[in-house]
Amino acid sequence: MQDALLVKHRGRTLILRSADIQWISAEGDYVGINAGGKKYLLRDRISRLEREFSPGDFVRIHRSLLVNRVNVKELEPRPFGECVVVLDSGERLPMSRSRKSIALRLLQESSMPVRWPLPLLHTIATVAVLVTVLWSQGHAQQPAAQSLLATEQAFANCSAAISADSAFLRFLADDGVLLRPGPVNGKTWIRDHPSPTLMLRWRPALGIASSAGDLGFTTGPFEDWETDDTTGTRYHGEFMTAWKRQADGTWKFVFDFGAGHPQDTWNVRAAPTVLPQGDSGEAGSDTAGVRGMLLSLREAAPASLSSDIRLLRPDSLPVTDVSRVTDVLNREKTLVTRTPLFADVARSGDLAYTYGTFTTPGDQNGVKRGYYFSLWKRNPRRSWDLLWDVLGRAR
């Protein structure tokens, strides 16, 4: 066994102790010894070094990579059970699936603290997702909005741990709709157009559910990127999702849309908030009349706005100030024409939503046509307040 290497570098012979080596890469007949921010070439075999170093000091995470486990800072999950090893120097190294179970066991045996971002392992993540969903929907006394937020978080966990495609197929309702670019059955489209390189993560910031507990909505920040994009580009935005309680008591989402913007809001941490329900009562029974009203709207400037108003527009951060929202909607009166395609109302008549297309003769943030998604909340005067509204580009 050995705990140091002799390396020739610029006419000098250096002694590199194993504790100073962060990682080793196989490079043909040579190995690259990475230590102290520098790389040294040594004519040797990575398999021999793996055998010669003290057992457990270095972990083989890939056929061409050995990593000093004391330098492992974090493990990032990737689609299909893969993950990336992040070192304390910031280096990011791929871990192959074939070596994952052994490598993880050796890393866990280390006496050094390793921060494991949850969820990490496919199996652990799957169990965690199922437990979260069962917990959120197995307690009759739990408020509907709280169980909805728990389900949304389980949905996000599933995407981070396994893949976006798997998460969407698990949490989409059978009749759930996605815009690709027009309205399509979400499950059918995902099965026909798999995206194995897409990484998508999000978290709920706000949630609201009807007093009947059958309809709910969530919103929050998201970011996505392609794992095969070597530029490291990430895209940010805000999502809004409509959920319906299914016959078996579970929440499934039926519509999902959002708007992108250039600012990273993903790292702005805040606990998710439950918004107060709308006003139901006797007027809540006229769901057909409400649908008819929503399907007749050609603009989103109602008589009143909810105090929890949230406006999403392409390339802009969410607008939540009532006066600013009013200004935006008034400007859009003469620019934006909406054509409703679908509307639905909670049984309790306190929440509703609609989506459709919009067109504008001018240039609306670079978009001349696209889709909208509006959420409505009944107020104590029995009229409807605009709660959330999105104009965006479909994929």
Residues 111, 135, single domain; the answer is no
DSSP code per residue over 155-204:
HHHHHHHT-HHHHHHHHEEEEEEEESSSEEEHHHHHHHS--TTEEEEE--
Residues 82, 151, single domain; the answer is no
Boundaries of domain holding 54: 4-117
Position 133 scores a pLDDT of 44
User: Which tens digit of pLDDT belongs to each residue from 48-100?
Assistant: 888 877 666 888 888 888 998 888 888 777 655 567 888 888 888 888 777 66
Residues 228, 326, single domain; the answer is yes
Where does the chain have alpha helices with state H? 46-52, 100-108, 122-137, 144-161, 164-171, 186-192, 287-294, 322-333
Position 139 scores a pLDDT of 37
Residues 63, 111, single domain; the answer is yes
- Mean pLDDT, all residues of the chain: 82
Total residues belonging to the chain: 395
Query: What is the C-alpha separation between 254 and 159, in angstroms, rounded?
Result: 17
pLDDT tier for residue 112 given thresholds of 50, 70 and 90: very low
Residues 271, 238, single domain; the answer is yes
Token output for 31: 């190995």
User: Which tens digit of pLDDT belongs to each residue from 173-199?
Assistant: 999 999 998 999 999 999 998 887 888
Residues 88, 130, single domain; the answer is no
Q: Which residue has the tokens 């270095």?
A: 58
Among 92, 117, 142, the domain-final residue is: 117
Residues 51, 137, single domain; the answer is no
Rounded to whole angstroms, what are the CA distances from 97 to 58, 63, 104, 155, 228?
A: 18, 11, 11, 24, 17
Q: Which value, in Å, is the radius of gyration of the alpha carbons in the chain?
A: 26
Q: What is the CATH number of the domain that holds 60?
A: 2.40.50.1020
| pTM (two decimals) | 0.65
Among 64, 90, 117, the domain-final residue is: 117
Q: Report the largest interatomic distance among the alpha carbons of the chain, rounded to a whole angstrom.
A: 90
Position 79 scores a pLDDT of 58
pLDDT of 109 > 60? The answer is no
pLDDT of 117 > 80? The answer is no
Q: What is the CATH number of the domain that holds 315?
A: 3.10.450.50
Query: What is the C-alpha separation between 9 and 130, in angstroms, rounded?
Result: 54
Position 279 scores a pLDDT of 85
pLDDT of 149 > 90? The answer is yes
Residues 48, 109, single domain; the answer is yes
Instruction: Estimate to the nearest angstrom the gap between the alpha carbon of 246 and the chain centroid.
Output: 23
Query: Which of the two residues, 207 and 38, has the higher pLDDT score?
Result: 207
Rounded to whole angstroms, what are the CA distances from 131 to 135, 137, 148?
A: 6, 10, 14
Residues 244, 109, single domain; the answer is no
pLDDT of 159 > 80? The answer is yes
Among 117, 146, 172, the domain-final residue is: 117
User: Which tens digit of pLDDT belongs to each residue from 225-276?
Assistant: 887 777 778 889 999 999 999 998 899 999 999 998 888 877 776 788 999 9
Residues 69, 167, single domain; the answer is no
- What is the domain count for the chain? 2
Residues 107, 163, single domain; the answer is no
Position 126 scores a pLDDT of 45
Residues 130, 94, single domain; the answer is no
pLDDT of 210 > 50? The answer is yes
